[in-house]
Amino acid sequence: MPRTLNIAIEGCCHGMLDNIYSQLLTRQKQTNKKIDLLIICGDFQAIRNVTDLGCMSCPDKYKQIGGFYRYYTGERVAPVPTIFVGGNHEAGNHSRELYYGGW
C-alpha cells in the first residue's frame, strides 16, 4: 500500500519556531499522524545573532532574536524536516550565504 506524505503548512513564522514545533507535535499526538515535512511560508526570520538583526529590512519594533539560533547552533534539533520561503523580514546577509538554498 502506498504511504501518505503528511505535509504541514505554516504562515509567517516571525522567529517563533519553538511555538510552531510545539503545536505541530501536539497536533501529531491528537491525530496520531506523523508529520513528514513542514513548509513555512514567509517571514521565517532566520536570525542567528545581533549582526543579523542589523541586516533585517523591517521597522526596529519587529527586530528580535527568535528561537532559530538554537537550531542553527545545534542546541535544538527540528522535530521534522522544515523548508521555508523567505519573506520581507529576513536577514539579507544570511540569505546571501545560502545562495542556492540550504538544507
* pLDDT for position 103: 57
Triad 21, 25, 28: Cα angle to 5°:
140
* Distance separating alpha carbons of residues 50 and 65, to the nearest angstrom: 7
CB-based contact 51:93 (threshold 8 Å) = yes
Under the banding of pLDDT at 50, 70 and 90, the label for residue 25 is: very high
CB-based contact 66:16 (threshold 8 Å) = yes
Would you say residue 83 has pLDDT above 60? yes
The Cβ-side half-sphere exposure at 84, using a 13 Å CA radius, reads: 24
CB-based contact 47:86 (threshold 8 Å) = no
Average pLDDT value for residue range 92-99 = 76
β partners of residue 56: 91
* pLDDT for position 49: 92
* pLDDT for position 1: 77
